[in-house]
Amino acid sequence: MSANRQFKLAARPVGMPKESDFSLVEAPMPVPGDGQVLVQTAYLSVDPYMRGRITGVKTYADPVNIGDVMVGGAVGRVVESKSPNFAVGDFASGQWGWREHAAVDARALWKLDPKAAPVSTALGVLGLTGMTAYFGFLEICKPQPGETVVVSGAAGAVGSLVGQIAKIKGCRAIGIAGTDDKVEWLTKELGFDGAFNYKTTSDYPAKLKELCPQGIDCYFDNVGGAITDAVFPLMNVFGRLSICGQISQYNLEKPELGPRLLAFVLVKQLKVEGFIVSRFQSRWAEGIAQMGQWLREGKLKYREDIVEGFENTVKAFIGMLQGDNTGKMLVKARD
Amino acid sequence: MSANRQFKLAARPVGMPKESDFSLVEAPMPVPGDGQVLVQTAYLSVDPYMRGRITGVKTYADPVNIGDVMVGGAVGRVVESKSPNFAVGDFASGQWGWREHAAVDARALWKLDPKAAPVSTALGVLGLTGMTAYFGFLEICKPQPGETVVVSGAAGAVGSLVGQIAKIKGCRAIGIAGTDDKVEWLTKELGFDGAFNYKTTSDYPAKLKELCPQGIDCYFDNVGGAITDAVFPLMNVFGRLSICGQISQYNLEKPELGPRLLAFVLVKQLKVEGFIVSRFQSRWAEGIAQMGQWLREGKLKYREDIVEGFENTVKAFIGMLQGDNTGKMLVKARD
């Protein structure tokens, strides 16, 4: 097996990405240098932030250019090691992107303990996703017991964790999701106090008022757009809004207008803050330890939506952008 | 002189308030009770926040109802005292609204020292206006030396102080105002590093880029609308936006739409916070002391735009909403 399949960006997507925006190519098997290991991809992560990386606009990170291998988090098994820190058979997570094998500096890898938790969780609850929920909610919203927390994209990888953390912190958790099955999962399995399907609800403000009779103290936003427009007027004085994602806007071919929201920010003295999880990187170990403890205590549940086969990575990515997944969307590249 | 003129709200304004939305009425001269003083109004304040109070919507404060005397800050001379803390002839500031005389609890008054500063400053740089600039800018924007600070409504009572405080703190200060005279005042007299007239500038983003080559770190917003829309895309990573006012929106007959701004909040990791100055009330003495010191040191300049005659209060209020004033708009009710 000397060929190494990988996905390269073939075209800048216009609106929702298409399969033809990526090309599946074969490259030679990489050879690890000193201090490197050769990893064989087991799981690939597909995440909303990737949509921003392929637009060609520099934001907080360099864009992926046409012809570049697609970026992203992955978990894999070490098949060759030139580092004293990794042995063949070890599992590791890292940022080697959409490829079946990669030669990676050992210092850029995080060693996983398959006995402590399934290795795939390094891309979810115990990885970027979990840290996004943990730090992005707790540090920015600073939720207090008894407060009402609303989460958009609540059945997604991050949102489903935010609602559960809100419950752990003694808050009332209300979720917004896009199917009745997701709503049922949130309320029956994850312990959300209420949830609604935004695709079958016409009057968001009325539904939110019904589910949040005391108003909204914290809002964790993955979605933006009309859902978020409905939240602002219901925020309580000194409310906090953590802006994690705006997935409703990522695939618009041209920006849409919306109601002006700053008057609510003013009269309710709201604090609205955006974040990229990397700003909390120095506290990663703390977040992983706490999320791991809550998992072991049974206080956190998670679901993985797994697409089989490396060649289906683009399908999985597009499906995630369309909201097909419940919980964390992953690609299983190999057993 | 037994009659006591006062302005009552006669109708809820639709759009820009009209003179007929208020009625000038005579009431009997009030008689102070125990612990009260009778004050004779010297200066009245007209401020943007008053527009919100007369809409009939409860925000952070109760609305002024039809038939109520209009609320607001004032400075006056004590003409009769039933409090050991005030003597006849003392000057005081308080919130007795648009009336020529008022009987006020001594505890609700702030005694002024006419030798320390002109008493009118208790409505401006050493009053609500000054505290709005001081705390609303320093506490929310937390400006650092070398940062670029943009102020909208920069020639207004609050904005003109914010830009000067930014300079004191070692920042680059850029102002946006509505006449060439105001722009000249900001740059030639107050030390702003740059300013522009939004009424004669067609491309706000281009002008802001020219004046802020290093991007914008702090934005102090009095105005909202199209000016603020142009600021968001130019904010630097970890920028802070203090939302003090949205005067461009107060007199719209129906809300306008605007570009969605949360994507900038997200990718630039911005913090957008609204405030009402009363939240800093416990630190008032600190703010007054610091602003007074800067005044005495010549580091702060202020201008008062004084309309003569109590009967012209509504004209002054409407003029202020239309941006007629440079600096603090006051009504001089009596010498």
Q: Which residue of B has its CA nearest to A61?
A: B267
Residue-averaged pLDDT of chain A: 95
Whole-structure pTM value: 0.94
Which residues on adjacent β-strands are paired with residue A332? A43, A308
- pLDDT tens by residue, B24-48: 999 999 999 999 999 999 999 999 9
**B258 φ, ψ (degrees, to nearest 5):** -150, 170
H-helix or E-strand containing A26? Answer: strand A22-28
Residue type, A290: Q
Q: Which two tokens stand for residue B187?
A: 């740059």
B2 pLDDT above the threshold of 70: no
B35 sits in the region (left: phi over 0; alpha: psi -120 to 50; else beta) called: left
Under the banding of pLDDT at 50, 70 and 90, the label for residue B250 is confident
* Interface touch B273/A272, C-beta < 8 Å: yes
C-alpha to C-alpha distance for A302 and A304, rounded to whole angstroms: 7
Longest dimension (CA), chain A: 64
pLDDT of A202: 95
pLDDT digits (tens, 9 = 90+) for A194-233: 999 999 999 999 999 999 999 999 999 999 999 999 999 9
pLDDT for residue A2: 58
Q: Would residue A273 be called left, alpha or beta, if left means φ above 0 and alpha means ψ between -120 and 50 degrees? A: beta
- Name the region of B263 (left: φ>0; alpha: ψ -120 to 50; beta: rest): alpha
Q: Is A268 on the interface with B (CB under 8 A)?
A: yes
Q: How many whole angstroms separate alpha carbon B43 and alpha carbon B256?
A: 35
Cβ of residue A271 closer than 8 Å to a chain B Cβ: yes
Q: Which of A47-61, B121-135, B157-171, B239-253 has the lowest mean pLDDT?
A: A47-61
Instruction: Name the token pair of A32.
Output: 């690890």
Mean pLDDT of B152-158: 97
Task: Round to the nearest angstrom and report the end-to-end CA distance of chain B.
Answer: 16
Task: Answer whether residue A57 shows pLDDT above 90.
Answer: no
DSSP code of residue B241: E
In the chain, the amino acid numbered A171 is: C
Residues of chain A with CATH 3.90.180.10: 3-124+302-332
- A-B Cβ pairs (cutoff 8 Å, strict): 114
Q: Which residues contact A206 (CB under 8 A, 6 or more apart)?
A: none
Instruction: Determine the Cα–Cα distance for residues A108 and A95; give it in Å rounded to an integer.
Output: 8
A241-278 confidence digits (pLDDT tens): 999 999 999 888 888 999 999 999 999 999 999 999 99
Average pLDDT, chain B: 95
Interface membership of A265 toward B (CB under 8 Å)? yes
Fold annotation for B3-123+303-332: Quinone Oxidoreductase; Chain A, domain 1 (3.90.180)
Greater confidence (B296 vs A1) lies with B296
Q: Which two tokens stand for residue B76?
A: 């006056």
Answer whether A260 sits within 8 Å of B271, measured CB to CB.
no
Tell me the pLDDT tens digit for each residue of B319-335.
999 999 999 999 999 87
Q: Does A275 contact B at CB distance below 8 Å?
A: yes
A246 chain-B contacts, CB cut-off 8 A: 260, 262-263, 266
CATH 3.90.180.10, chain B: domain bounds = 3-123+303-332
Q: Looking up tokens 């000194």, which residue turns up? A: A238
Among residues A81, A88, A83, A102, the alpha carbon closest in space to that of A28 is found at A102
CATH 3.90.180.10 holds for A3-124+302-332? yes
Tell me the one-letter amino acid at B83. S
Asked if the C-beta of B270 comes within 8 angstroms of chain A's C-beta atoms, the answer is yes
Separation of alpha carbons A182 and A163, rounded Å: 13
- Counting residues of chain B whose pLDDT is more than 70, the rounded percentage is 99
- Asked whether A152 and A228 are in contact (CB, 8 A), the reply is yes
Distance CA B198, CA A166 (A): 45
- pLDDT of B1 over the 70 cut: no
pLDDT tens string A69-95: 999 999 999 999 999 999 999 999 999
Structure confidence at residue A3 (pLDDT): 81
Which CATH number describes the domain made up of B128-278? 3.40.50.720
Q: What's the pLDDT score for residue B9?
A: 97
Which pLDDT band holds residue A98 (cuts at 50, 70, 90)? very high
In Å, how far is A334's CA from the nearest CA of chain B?
34
DSSP secondary structure, A191-256, as one string: --SEEEETTT-S-HHHHHHHH-TT-EEEEEESS-HHHHHHHGGGEEEEEEEEE---HHHHT-SSPP
Q: pLDDT (tens digit, 9 = 90+) per residue, B49-92?
A: 999 899 877 777 788 999 999 999 999 999 999 999 999 999 99
Predicted confidence (pLDDT) at residue B251 exceeds the cutoff of 90: no
Mutation to test the A interface, candidates B142, B237, B246, B266, most A Cβ within 10 Å: B266
Q: How many CA atoms lie within 13 A of B330 on its CB side?
A: 28
